[in-house]
Each structure stands twice: as C-alpha cells, then as structure tokens.
Amino acid sequence: MFTNRVKARRLGMEIPHKQVEEFLREAPEQKIIPLWQNLRRGDVAEKTPDEIVTIADRSCESFLMDHLPKLIEGSLVLGEISEMLSAG
C-alpha cells in the first residue's frame, strides 16, 4: 500500500482514501443489502456457465463507476460486469 501511495504522489495525484472507503461501504448498503433474498427470476443472469450476476451486482458496480472517477480528475474505473457484458 505504501508503494502505491508513493507512486501516486510521483504522478501528481493524491488518492482520497477516506472517500473511496466511504463509497465502498455505501455501495453495498444502498445497492446490495436492500435486494438480499429479494431477487426475482429476471434479476439473475449467467456470466459464464455456473457463474451468475445479479441486478444487485450490476447496480453496485454502476454506483462505483459513477462515484469513484469524480474523486480524481481523469481517472477511470474498469468493472468486471460491464466489461463482461460489453464483450458478450
């Protein structure tokens, strides 16, 4: 972790760790927990054989992709689910 902080400083960016942590806590509280054991058949899809993705997963990833880039100008977020869906 220390090495990543040093590299970030060399690149001229300061990572707002507290805000990142807040988003990582807020996302499941808002997007996953409310759907816990409340998913319907259409809320679940198969990523690959025997690997599922739910509307809660997609919603959580979308939340993070919307919020995290605002913390550091020009940053990007690569999400597993959105990449899988765009490739398929």
Residues 57-78: pLDDT tens digits?
999 999 999 999 999 888 888 8
- H or E element, residue 46: strand 44-48
pLDDT computed for residue 86 by the predictor: 64
Indicate the pTM of the whole model: 0.74
Mean pLDDT by 10 residues, the chain (88 residues): 58 83 95 93 88 92 93 85 64
pLDDT computed for residue 10 by the predictor: 59
pLDDT computed for residue 79 by the predictor: 83
pLDDT computed for residue 75 by the predictor: 85
pLDDT computed for residue 88 by the predictor: 56
Rounded to 5 degrees, what angle do the CA atoms 15, 17, 23 make? 115
61, two tokens:
């990833």
